[in-house]
Amino acid sequence: MNNAIESGRETIRFGEQIERSCGEIFNTGIEILRKKGATKALIPHIHINEYTVFNYVVNSSVPAVEVAIWAGANLDKARIVTIQVKGVGWLESTKRVVKGQEKFKGKRHTQGSSYAHNLDPDYSNLQTVVGYLNAIRQVKREITPH
């Protein structure tokens, strides 16, 4: 029987899973950017709006898919890590510190849309975050020497 209490518990669990997954995306993204990222400026030769970016082509199957990961130039102070998968869109994982604890949340941008969707705690958004989490894990596996 599905009642309001069980629905509430399910929503809380989805929210916790989304937060954990966004945290792993953020931390894995920072780790990849520290190892392989390059600092770029939006306006070359004028260091305004610098960011660190890593572009990678996953070609384990045909067709190959481009994946980009980026954050601010100072990775120690980064609050947002973005992963973009060509053909799907991108996900922003945001870190904030509340009372000494790190909290994570995410926003999803679909391909061809400029509107960002907050990742509310539901099954569909959990599946979206898990898809991006699996993508960043695959990139990390492929660039890490065995």
The model's pLDDT over 46-91, given as tens digits with 9 standing for 90+, comes to 555 788 899 999 877 778 899 999 999 899 999 999 999 998 889 9
With bands split at pLDDT 50, 70 and 90, how would you rate the model's confidence at 128? very high
Residues with Cβ within 8 Å of residue 51, at least 6 apart in sequence? 39, 40, 41, 42, 70, 71, 72, 73
In the sheet that holds 65-72, the strands lie side by side as 38-43, 46-58, 65-72, 80-85, 89-98, 101-110, 116-118
With bands split at pLDDT 50, 70 and 90, how would you rate the model's confidence at 132? very high
Tell whether the model's pLDDT for residue 1 goes beyond 60.
Answer: no
Domain spans in the chain, listed from the N-terminal domain onward: 4-143
With bands split at pLDDT 50, 70 and 90, how would you rate the model's confidence at 43? low
